[in-house]
Amino acid sequence: MRFSELWRLSGTAYKEVSFQSIFSLRAGSSLPRSGRRDIKQLVANARMNTLISKLITAGFIGFFAAVIFLPVTTSYTGSTGQEGTALLADVSAFLAVVLFLIVFMGLQVSTSFVSSKIVDVLSPLPLSKQDISRIVFLSFIRIFDIPLIAAAVIFPTVYSLISGSVLGGIISLGGIITAEIFALALTTVLARFFYLRVTSAGGRSKWQTLLRLVFMLVWILPTFAAYLVINFAANIVQSFAGLMQGFSSFSQILALIYPFSYGFLASSLTFLGQTEYTLLSLSAAASIAYAILAYYCLKWVTRTIRNMGVSAMGRGPREIVKDTLIKPQVPWLGIIRKDLRVASRAPSYASLFFLPIIQTAILAIIFSSSNGLGLTTTLGFLTGMSLITLLLPPTLSSIEGLASAYMRHLPMRKITLISAKTLLSTLTYALSLIVLSIIALVLGKNPTLILTYGAIHGFSVAAAVMLELTILTRKFWKEGFAVGNLYSRLSTYVLIVIPGYFLASIPIVSAIATLSIAPSFLLPVFLAAALTEFTLMTAVVMLQK
């Protein structure tokens, strides 16, 4: 089949994936009560939502390429050796960002991709296996098309403009394409692992539970890596430049390792006159080897991606079932257990669920380099932790939408649902707080401030979580469809988390204001603000039927 025909067919498949990612229809949600004309509008909205998400991600990549990295280079201008090292670090770090960011996006959409059952729809049609694989691959590519193009266009262009080397820009383009292919391969590997080994294995033995936990951790590594590289990009580039100057022999080994090979090659070709030819040869050889590897990865992904369909899920050996016993809990605990179980098995939920922990780890890194733990730093930490925690309620609510057409007939009260999810979100915040306090103790710093203010702020975070959940539950009850995953419904997430952020920031802002006016009243004001919010929101939740 001709490429143009494959591309056209992949467009139809992609429309279905984007629609499913918004409404999770196959996953059991029902459409809001609308007429047939409105359904067309919903399809258009779904496409617009995914387009907006793509543009936001592309904008982020563009901003990252144009603003964050390359100005670092300008501080080394004039010193050729250092400028070359900085460019090397720029290219390498950008490739790492592209790799991890696309894997993160891939993990977010893979659930929708699987639940859309697009492979199952295509399989009975008179198409060859190869064509089906290609169509599925192209529809998968369409999910990331704008971010992929943005990365491939913006960075090499800015590189060429700043360094004045078109050749260097072309090499960086090659590196980016390789990174994108590796990212798709990594997403496919993780998705296959997840669906084949975790989801289809099931079981309730301790071994299966442990296995799921391990996979969850593996699953979130790209998220963690992307977050780390993005947060510390400037530090990484500067530290790397320093490291390179200190250990020149180290660079020969590094030239062979991805993504540094492309960094060395681009940098060497940019400053061809001052290039060390051993490095140039090593990095060129390694880059060619990685390009060949990427080619085979691409072939493998094209061939394998169609196995991501539900029907292709492995039905591994089943455990021998000894009994049919169940342990019913009180409703709120039943909801929490169900949420944890679903989150541990769905890629798009698992990665988000660990974000507060990741945030704590990031803060711990900053923590270790700070001299003391003052009040302002503490409040800053609490703000960061609460911001990430407040991403959880929309995620947890969308779990409720997974089989909403069925779940909504259960005699579940809104207040039970909100209480359970508030408890779960707030416990995650509390866990992050405890981890951070332990790190403070290990580093020999006094955790009193962070524990005291953190515990009080926990009430504010709980209030903010309740606010988000009240909005979401009302929406869920009324419309009965899933909020969808983070990537496909970025705008919904933003609109829901803003009121939450506002509420969680009130005690912080009050404390900062009090600090400059009447410092002795700081703690009472902070406490009063947090408790008032908590009381008010508890009252609002109690009014829910």
Partner 1 sequence: MYFGVFSSQNTDKTPTASYKYTQEFRSEAEKVLNTRPAPAKPWPQKRIKAASHEDHQSRVGGLRLETAAVRVEGLAVNYGSFVAVENLSFTVKEGEIYGLLGPNGAGKTTTLKVIVGILEPRAGKVEVYGTSVSNEVLAKSQIGYVPEEVVLLDSLTPREFFEFVASIRRLDKESVNSKLERFASAFELKQYFDTPIAALSMGNKQKVAIITGLLHDPKLLILDEPLIGLDARSSKILKELIAFHAKKGGAVIFSTHIMEVAEKLCTRVAIINKGKIVGQGTVEDLRRLVKSAEGSLEDIFLKVTEQEAGMQDIIKALEEE
**Residue ranges in contact with partner 1 by CB under 8 A:** 26-28, 30, 33-38, 199-204, 310, 313, 315, 318-319, 321, 323-331, 333-335, 337-338, 341-342, 345-346, 402-403, 405-413, 480, 545
- Show the tokens assigned to 428: 């995650």
Q: What is the DSSP track for 334-369?
A: HHHHHHHHHHTT-HHHHHHHTHHHHHHHHHHHHHHH
Residue among 27 and 503 whose Cβ is closer to partner 1: 27
CA 361 to the chain's CA centroid: 16
CA 418 to the chain's CA centroid: 25
The least CB distance from residue 413 to partner 1, in Å, is 6
Q: What is the DSSP track for 107-141?
A: HHHHHHHHHTTHHHHHTTSS--HHHHHHHHHHHHH
What is the C-alpha to C-alpha distance for residues 395 and 493, in angstroms, rounded to an integer? 9
The least CB distance from residue 202 to partner 1, in Å, is 4
Measuring CA to CA, which residue among 274, 238, 254, 61 is closest to residue 154?
61
Q: Measured between alpha carbons, how far is residue 413 from residues 279, 342, 347, 393, 416 in Å?
A: 66, 20, 28, 17, 5
Residue among 164 and 202 whose Cβ is closer to partner 1: 202
Q: What is the DSSP track for 33-65?
A: S--HHHHHHHHHHHHHHHHHHHHHHHHHHHHII
The least CB distance from residue 117 to partner 1, in Å, is 11
The least CB distance from residue 75 to partner 1, in Å, is 49
Residue among 231 and 538 whose Cβ is closer to partner 1: 538
How crowded is the C-beta side of 408, counted as CA atoms within 13 Å? Answer: 19
Residue among 199 and 231 whose Cβ is closer to partner 1: 199
Residue among 35 and 372 whose Cβ is closer to partner 1: 35
Residue among 105 and 420 whose Cβ is closer to partner 1: 420
Residue among 200 and 538 whose Cβ is closer to partner 1: 200
Residue among 200 and 281 whose Cβ is closer to partner 1: 200
Q: Which amino acid is at 460?
A: S
What is the C-alpha to C-alpha distance for residues 22 and 401, in angstroms, rounded to an integer? 11
The least CB distance from residue 159 to partner 1, in Å, is 43
Residue among 221 and 407 whose Cβ is closer to partner 1: 407
What is the C-alpha to C-alpha distance for residues 259 and 262, in angstroms, rounded to an integer? 6
What is the C-alpha to C-alpha distance for residues 313 and 202, in angstroms, rounded to an integer? 12
Residue among 199 and 383 whose Cβ is closer to partner 1: 199
The least CB distance from residue 397 to partner 1, in Å, is 14
The least CB distance from residue 285 to partner 1, in Å, is 45
Q: For residue 376, what are the contacts with CB-CB under 8 A and spacing of at least 6?
A: 512
Handedness of CA 179, 180, 184, 185 (dihedral sign): negative
The least CB distance from residue 79 to partner 1, in Å, is 55
- Show the tokens assigned to 400: 């409720």
The least CB distance from residue 305 to partner 1, in Å, is 19
| 3-class SS letters over 375-397 | HHHHHHHHHHHHHHHCCHHHHHH
The least CB distance from residue 490 to partner 1, in Å, is 24
**CA torsion 220→224→225→229, rounded to 10°?**
160
